[in-house]
Amino acid sequence: MTFWKDAGFSYLKYVQVASRALRSVLKEEAKVQALKREDTVLKVSRWANGKQGELKFVDPKNQH
Amino acid sequence: MFSTAASAKAVSFLAGPLSTQTAGMATLKEIQIRRRSVQNIGKITKSMKMIASTKVPKAQKIMESARVYGAASNGLFQHAQTDFADSKKPLVIAISSDRGLCGGIHSSVSKAMKADLRKNPESTVVVLGQKVKIQLSREYRDNIALHFEQVAKTIPTWDETAAIADIILEKAKEEGVDSAKIFYNKFKTIIAFETTSIPTFTLEALEASPKLSTYEYDDGVLANFAQFAFANTLYWAVAEGNASEMAAKRTAMENATKNAGEVIAKLTLTFNRTRQAAITNELIDIIVGASAM
């Protein structure tokens, strides 16, 4: 049950990976709808001492 | 066709009140140019309003479903009577977006954040959206730990919010955060929103809840639930903020179109008056000239 926790994944990362897997095996029309929910262009920037860090793309596939 | 320049010269040595006509005649073209540009602006704001009005119901639907998830996971906290102890390391999260032209949405969140930061100047700050980041980074640069851009670019999705939540949770663990508050715009009606904050609880706060013993659970479930609840609450706040933004954008563009219409009406009147004054002056020239012969 907690193989993913032992591997160092947080619950949210585990859920994201599992949802991706589910979406990829759906049938055609449901898949098209579901893939729309995967669309993300999110960017994150980590700040240190009041200085903005580099804006990095949050890649949903590369979770670790 | 009489040359307006010639008439202008002829009229220029007439006294007082008519000298304003000279200025009027010379700017007939200017008034026309201005009127045309305001008309174009009016067309743009009108189409922006149309676009925003089509986005509002969609955003509202997403918000309704997000509410259900958010309310469900927060229900546990309410029943278990989870609460913050004195928080020594608070985290505040601001929900906004990168888009402008939507009324007072972003400034409202910034104001609420600043008021909170004045009370707790040691808080760690996370900002979703460029607009509030710009406003907060003037005074509170040192508090900002993370900021996100391109949030909910098309629509808010749980997947994206979960990714954000995950990054925030990692950072919160690094900093030893013990409580979190999310500032967002709650969608009240299509013309009204309210900036409020909602608390989210850490695993420790959940475990310390007075009524937690009324629940039965397996080991490890609470940790998962705390993360899931945080993602739900964040998704709820992002969805509400998104709906408020679309509604505010619609209202702002509607007002802009209305104002543009008023400016056009005023300019049209000025233009007509100026044109008529020019014609009257030319007539005077002719009559005076004719009577002199």
The DSSP-derived string for B96-127 is --S---STTHHHHHHHHHHHHHHH-TT-EEEE
Q: What is the mean pLDDT of residues A37-45?
A: 89
Q: Is B227 on the interface with A (CB under 8 A)?
A: yes
- Residues of chain A with pLDDT > 70: what percent? 94
**Confidence label for A1 from pLDDT (cuts 50, 70 and 90):** low
Q: Phi/psi of residue B187, each to 5°?
A: -80, 115
How far, in Å, CA of B104 to CA of B100, rounded? 10
Q: Is B31 on the interface with A (CB under 8 A)?
A: no
Q: In a 3-state reduction of DSSP, which class is residue B201?
A: coil
Q: Are B189 and B251 in contact (CB under 8 A)?
A: no
Chain B residue with CA closest to A53: the answer is B146
How far, in Å, CA of B254 to CA of B68, rounded? 31
Q: Round to the nearest angstrom and report the end-to-end CA distance of chain A.
A: 20
- Percentages helix, strand, coil for chain B (3-state, rounded to 5) are 65, 15, 20
Tell me: pLDDT of A2 over 70.
yes
Tell me: pLDDT of B168 over 80.
yes
* CA neighbours closer than 13 Å in the CB half-sphere of residue B160: 25
CA dist B132 → A17, B143, B230, B279 (Å) = 31, 14, 21, 54
In this structure, of A13-17, B118-122, B146-150, B211-215, the range with the lowest mean pLDDT score is: B211-215
**Confidence label for B73 from pLDDT (cuts 50, 70 and 90):** confident
CB contact under 8 A, B160 and A40: yes
**Chain B partners within 8 Å of A50 (Cβ):** 141-142, 144
Query: Which residues is B126 bridged to in the sheet?
Result: B93, B146
What the block records as the tokens of B103 is 């009324």
Look at B163 and B212; give whichever has higher pLDDT.
B163
What the block records as the tokens of B153 is 């670019």
Q: What is the mean pLDDT of residues B189-215?
A: 87
Q: Which of B146, B147, B159 sits opposite A38 (nearest CB)?
A: B159
Give A34→chain B minimum CA distance, Å: 11
CB contact under 8 A, A43 and B148: yes
Q: Which of B199, B197, B196, B203 is nearest to B228 (CA)?
A: B203
**Confidence label for A63 from pLDDT (cuts 50, 70 and 90):** low
Q: Is B167 on the interface with A (CB under 8 A)?
A: yes
* pLDDT tens, position by position, B232-283: 999 999 999 999 999 999 999 999 999 999 999 999 999 999 999 999 999 9
Q: Is A27 on the interface with B (CB under 8 A)?
A: no
CB contact under 8 A, B159 and A46: no
Q: Is B180 on the interface with A (CB under 8 A)?
A: no
Query: Going edge to edge, which strands form the sheet with A55-57?
Result: A55-57, A43-46, B144-149, B124-128, B90-95, B179-189, B192-200
What the block records as the tokens of A3 is 């193989």
pLDDT averaged over chain B? 88
- Residues of chain B with pLDDT > 70: what percent? 91
Give CA angle at B39 (B33, B40), nearest 5°: 95
How far, in Å, CA of B109 to CA of B197, rounded? 10
Q: In a 3-state reduction of DSSP, which class is residue B189?
A: strand
- For residue A51, the 8-state DSSP code is B
Tell me: pLDDT of A45 over 70.
yes
How far, in Å, CA of B237 to CA of B200, rounded? 11
Tell me: pLDDT of A37 over 90.
no
For residue B222, give every residue at least 6 positions away whose Cβ sits within 8 Å of its Cβ, in sequence order, or none: B203, B206, B207
How far, in Å, CA of B145 to CA of B199, rounded? 19
**Chain B partners within 8 Å of A47 (Cβ):** 141, 144-147
How far, in Å, CA of B124 to CA of B237, rounded? 19
Give A30→chain B minimum CA distance, Å: 16
Tell me: pLDDT of B208 over 90.
no
Q: Is A39 on the interface with B (CB under 8 A)?
A: yes
**Confidence label for B211 from pLDDT (cuts 50, 70 and 90):** confident
Q: What is the mean pLDDT of residues B67-71?
A: 92
Tell me: pLDDT of B16 over 60.
no
Give CA angle at B255 (B254, B257), nearest 5°: 65
How far, in Å, CA of B69 to CA of A16, rounded? 17
Q: Are B81 and B209 in contact (CB under 8 A)?
A: yes
Chain pair A-B, CB pairs under 8 angstroms: 84
For residue A40, give every residue at least 6 positions away whose Cβ sits within 8 Å of its Cβ, in sequence order, or none: A58, A60, B153, B157, B159, B160, B163
Q: In a 3-state reduction of DSSP, which class is residue B198?
A: strand
Tell me: pLDDT of B15 over 60.
no
Tell me: pLDDT of B229 over 60.
yes
What the block records as the tokens of B273 is 């008056």
Q: Is A43 on the interface with B (CB under 8 A)?
A: yes
